[in-house]
A and B are shown apart, each in its own frame.
Chain A
Amino acid sequence: MYGKGILKGLSVTWKRFWDTYTEDISWMVRGKKRYNTVEGVAHRSSKNTKGIFTVQYPEEQLIQPEEFRYVPFLVYDEGEEGRKEVRCTSCGICAKVCPPQCIWIVRTNDPSTGRPVPVPTDFYIDMDICMNCGFCAEYCPFDAIKMDHDFDIASYERNVYNLNKLLKPASYYNSIRPENAAREDEARRAKEAAKAAKAEAKTATA
Chain B
Amino acid sequence: MATPLTATVDLIAKFPDSVTADTRPGYGGFIVKKENLVEVATAIRDEFGYDLLTAATGVDYLAENKMEMVYHAYKTTGGAGLIFRVQADRVDPVEIPSLVGVWAGVDFQEREAYDLLGIRFTNHPDLRRILMWEGYEGYPLRKDWKEPFFEEETKPFKSRWPDGQHTFAENKNPFRDNLSFPEGFDPEAYKPENEDDLYASLERFRSKGEDDRLKTDHIVVNMGPHHPSTHGVLRVAVTLDGETITGLKPVMGYLHRNHDKIGERNTYLQIIPYTDRLDYFNSMSNNFGYVTTVEKLMNIPVAERAEYIRVIMAELSRIQNHLIFIGMLMNDLGTMYTPSLYAFEERELVLDIFEAVSGARMMCNYFRFGGVVRDIPDFAIQKIKDLVHERLPAKTDEMERFLNENEILVARLKGIRVLNAEDAIRYSVTGPVLRAAGVPYDLRRADPYSIYDRFDFDVAVRHNGDMMDNYLIRFDEIRQSLRILEQALKQIPEGPINSQKPQYQVRVPAGEAYGRIESPKGELAFYVVSNGKPNPYRYHVRPASFVNLQAVESMCIGTKIADFVALLAMFDIVMGELDR
Contact = CB atoms under 8 A, between A and B. Distances in A.
Interface stretch (A23-31, A32-40, A63-71): A63-71
A53 B373 CA distance: 31
A43 B473 CA distance: 32
Contacts of B162: 90, 92, 105-107, 116
B266 to A, nearest CB: 6
A196 interface: no
Main SS class of interface, B: helix
A134 B365 contact: yes
Contacts of A189: none
B13 interface: no
Given A12-B401, A139-B502, A47 B355 contact: no
A160 B359 contact: no
Contacts of B356: 65, 67
Interface string A85-108: 000001011011111010111110
A93 B160 contact: no
B398 A131 contact: no
B504 interface: yes
A4 interface: yes
Interface stretch (B60-68, B268-276, B436-444, B457-465): B268-276
Given A67-B356, A104-B160, A99 B338 contact: no
Contact of B165 (A65, A106, A134, A147): A106
A5 interface: yes
B535 to A, nearest CB: 12
Given A133-B365, A134-B365, A101 B160 contact: yes
B363 A6 contact: no
A134 B410 contact: no
Interface residues of B, number: 56
Contact of A46 (B156, B160, B373, B386): B386
A3 B374 CA distance: 51
Contacts of B476: none
A90 B164 CA distance: 11
Contacts of A77: none
A121 B390 CA distance: 55
A168 B155 CA distance: 29
Contacts of B157: 101
Contacts of A11: 401
Contact of A9 (B161, B271, B406): B406
A107 B163 contact: yes
Nearest to B266: A99
Contacts of B243: none
Given A9-B403, A67-B355, A95-B156, A47 B504 contact: no
Interface string A172-191: 00000000000000000000
B451 interface: no
A101 B405 contact: no
B337 to A, nearest CB: 12
B155 A101 contact: yes
B166 A124 contact: yes
Contacts of A97: 156, 267, 269-270, 504
A58 B376 CA distance: 29
B360 A6 contact: no
B357 A67 contact: yes
A126 interface: yes
Interface string A158-169: 101000000000
Q: Which 9 A-B pairs have the closest CB atoms?
A: A5-B405, A104-B164, A107-B162, A92-B161, A133-B273, A47-B386, A69-B359, A99-B270, A124-B166
28 contacts: A2-B407, A3-B407, A8-B401, A11-B401, A12-B402, A46-B386, A47-B349, A47-B383, A65-B352, A67-B355, A67-B359, A90-B161, A92-B161, A96-B504, A97-B504, A98-B270, A99-B273, A99-B274, A101-B157, A103-B161, A104-B164, A105-B160, A106-B163, A107-B163, A124-B164, A135-B270, A139-B504, A158-B168
Given A105-B162, A138-B373, 5 more contacts: A5-B405, A11-B401, A68-B359, A93-B504, A147-B359
